Amino acid sequence: MEKKYFLNAPQQSEGKILDSLFAEMVLDKALHNFRKKQIKNKIDESLRNKNKEEFLRLTEELKNIS
C-alpha cells in the first residue's frame, strides 16, 4: 500500500489512524442518536400541545435523518 505524506501533517501509524476513525464513527453515531431523541421528545410535545404544523415538520425532519 502506498503511503501518502502531507506537508506539515503529523505522521501517524495505521493503528492510530484506525483508532481515530473508529472514535469519529462512535461520536457521529452518538450525536445522531442524541438528535433523534431530541426530535422525538419535541414530537411528543407537539402532540401534547396539539400543534399539527410542528408535528408534521418534526416527523419530516425525523424521516430525513433516519
Whether residue 37 lies inside any domain: the answer is yes
- Axis crossing angle, helix 14-48 with helix 52-65, rounded to the nearest 10: 160
Q: What is the sign of the dihedral through the CA atoms of 49, 52, 53 and 54? A: positive
Structural domain range at position 56: 22-65
- 15 pLDDT band, cuts 50/70/90, is confident
Whether residue 4 lies inside any domain: the answer is no
Distance CA 27, CA 35 (A): 12
pLDDT of 11: 61
Domain count, the chain: 1
Whether residue 33 lies inside any domain: the answer is yes
Answer with the residue of higher pLDDT: 12 or 25: 25
| pTM as predicted | 0.71
Whether residue 56 lies inside any domain: the answer is yes
